[in-house]
Structure 1
Amino acid sequence: MAYCPKCGVKVDHGGKDCPLCDFPIPVVEEEVEEQTHPFPTPENVYPKEFKVIKKRIFKNIAVFLLLAVVVMYFQNILLQGTLTWARYSVAATFFLLAYIAVFLNFIPNPYFFVTASALITLGFLFTMDWIGGELNWFWSLGLPLVAGIFLLSLIGVFAYRHLKRKPLILAGVFMMLAGLYFIVVEGAVTGYFFGKIHLFWSYIGGIPLSALGLSMLYFHYYFPQSMKEQIKRRFHT
């Protein structure tokens, strides 16, 4: 709605003269609302680009390893007339490819990384033992060692994600986990070779580590801040 600049009377839209005083109404362009264009949310494209690069690396490695498998297979057939050593090397090559896929971290989750690594290791050990004709050491030696490191690694990942801002407690937890794994290793090895579990050196290594781990917990809760900072520097935490 326009107004007459002389007498102030309202003039209908499109009117050229004032209906009261016949004063010509100047043409005024209507204001056009400017369209606002909000700044787009920035997107980090680095993970996508890096994932493409990792896929390319994996494909190249896979082609190279598959060519190596073909060479080993035919070399064994031509030299021995049957598959002997190539069974081990070919199987190991496929498991190596699986390890590389996991280590390239296509799924960036530490629990997945630990679980996938443990499953691949179990599959590798089972295959190596099975290729020999029968399962001799997998159940009594390979499985306990891998299962032990798998469970303790899960605990370690959980502890790191929840205690990374408390380095003294985290260091203590890792020390106690290492002491526990000493017991797992010696128990599995002695049980396989001697038919019963006999613990000796795991106590020598595990007890001091566990005691030091408990001392880290004590230092965190009861030591003054100046002492905590000095201990952190000693352990580079």
Structure 2
Amino acid sequence: MPYCYKCGVKLEDGVKVCPLCGAIFPDDTLENYFSEKIKNKNDQNICVDTNNIKNHDKNNIEENIKNNSATYPYYSNLPGYKKHLVIFEILSVSLLIVVASLLVINLILDSTISWSKLPSITIFLCWLISTVVIFFLKKPALIGLFTTIAVSLYLVGLDSLDLQIDWSIRIALPIVIISSLVGFFLTTVTIKSKLKGLNIAAYFLLGACLICITIDITLSYNFIKIIQLSWSRYVCFAVIPVSIFFLYIHNRFSKKFPGTRVFRM
């Protein structure tokens, strides 16, 4: 069984970081060297002096410590799912502290819970979405679906604070649904694109145009009862030519950049 070269504690096989002092072990040869050296000691309180280690071993230790740039070695050695749990724990505790602070400030100032409800609900929504992203990072479709549902319910909840539901159904939900569909389409196109370049930027610009058109039509229909394009058409006039140019550049030069024959240089 190997021992730590700094504090002398017994270690399990394959351990690269001492759980007591945080020392980093560079090679298996060093572990065997330190184990044999410690076993020859008769005192139970064993402490290996690094000044007596061979220069070659000391150089290996210093080089390994320099190469290990991890600020928290325990976290860096954790498997993926445990890292997700650590991130979830840190996120939950930090947001809980923020919510508790808001509630306490609200109670101190107003002796009741009033304005702190809105930021608390918003923080809770962010926590839900972040949790889904942390645990289902490799399932973008599930993340998008959950985010759409969560945001829709959040907007309906905000609308119902005055005990009636009005703008959330007529204005907010259509915009959220169209934006989610555009986001799903852009994600799918980005993943399936074999060559990722200016074409991705063009797709996102066109998606932004579609969202602007949706917002413009929704607002005009609900306020003046007429479907028309006002400010969104200027956005389209500015963005669509740029998107077409990006697609042209990508399709023209993606495989091989033209040489002197194309430009006759």
Q: TM-score range by the shorter chain?
A: 0.5 to 0.7
Within 5 Å, which residues of 2 pair with 1:139-178?
Answer: 139-178=169-208
Matched, 1:87 2:143: no
Secondary structure of the equivalent of 2:226? coil
1:6-62: CA deviations, max 9, x gaps?
Answer: xxxxxxxxxxxxxxxxxxxxxxxxxxxxxxxxxxxxxxxx89723312312222332
CA contact (8 A) 2:190 2:196 kept: no
- The alignment status of 1:113 with 2:143, answered yes or no, reads yes
Count residues with an aligned counterpart: 183
- The aligned residue for residue 235 of structure 2 is 205
Q: Aligned letter for 1:189?
A: L
**Structure 1, unaligned stretches of length 5 or more?**
1-45, 229-237
Do residues 226 (structure 1) and 262 (structure 2) align? no
Q: TM-score, normalised by structure 1?
A: 0.63
Report if the CA contact (8 A) 1:172-1:214 is conserved.
Answer: yes
- SS of the aligned residue for 1:198 comes to coil
Q: Which moved more, 1:75-84 or 1:47-56?
A: 75-84
Opposite residue 235 of structure 2, the aligned amino acid is G
Structure 2 residues not aligned, in runs of 5+: 1-75, 260-265
Q: 1:137 aligns with which of 129, 142, 167?
A: 167
Deviations 1:179-214 (CA, angstroms, capped at 9, x unpaired) = 212211222233344343331221111134223333
Which structure's CA Rg is the greater one?
Answer: 1
Answer whether contact 2:136 2:143 (CA < 8 A) is retained: no
After superposition, the Cα gap between the structure-2 partners of 1:190 and 1:108, relative to the gap in structure 1 and judged at 3 Å, is same
Does residue 99 of the first structure (1) align with residue 129 of the second (2)? yes
Q: Measure, in 2, the Cα distance between the counterparts of 1:112 and 1:90.
A: 25
Identity among equivalent pairs (%): 21
- Please give the root-mean-square deviation of Cα atoms over the aligned residues, in Å: 3.1
Cα offset for 1:218? 4.2
Q: Measure, in 2, the Cα distance between the counterparts of 1:80 and 1:222.
A: 64
Normalised TM-score (structure 2): 0.57
The answer for the alignment partner of 1:125 in structure 2 is 155
- Report the more deviating stretch, 173-182 or 104-113: 104-113
Paired position in structure 2 for 1:187:
217
1:138 deviates by 0.8
User: Whole-Å Cα distance in 2 between the matches of residues 166 and 80 of structure 1?
Assistant: 54
SS of the equivalent of 2:79 reads helix
